[in-house]
Amino acid sequence: MDVSVSERQLRLILNRLDMVRLELLRLRAMLLPEEELSEEEMKEFEEARKEIAEGSGISLEDLIREIG
């Protein structure tokens, strides 16, 4: 079974997946004390904090509606 998507749709999906990744990092950071994060995870966490502060984010329902 083949599925084809346009370049625009693929970019949209990848962008939304990145937002989901950032949200997961944010939630993980809320659950784990900062001392337990590796240096790389701390860097990603700080990046996620900045993006969240800028208003980057998406709800799962919005993502499903947009893709569907």
User: Looking at residue 34, what is its pLDDT?
Assistant: 58
Residue range 52-63: mean pLDDT, rounded = 71
In a domain, 41, yes or no: yes
The pLDDT value recorded for residue 15 is 85
| 52-67-56 Cα angle (round to 5) | 10
What is the residue range of 62's domain? 7-67
Domain for residue 40, yes or no? yes
Residue type, 20: V
Q: Is residue 49 part of a domain?
A: yes
Q: State the helix-helix crossing angle for 7-31 and 60-67, rounded to 10 degrees.
A: 170
Residue for token pair 């939630």: 27
What is the reported pLDDT for 42? 79
The total of structural domains in the chain comes to: 1
Q: Are the C-beta atoms of residues 55 and 22 closer than 8 Å to each other?
A: no
- Domain membership of residue 2 (yes or no) is no
Separation of alpha carbons 38 and 42, rounded Å: 6
pLDDT, tens digit, for every residue of 6-52?
888 888 888 888 888 888 887 877 776 656 777 887 788 788 778 77
Q: Is residue 44 part of a domain?
A: yes
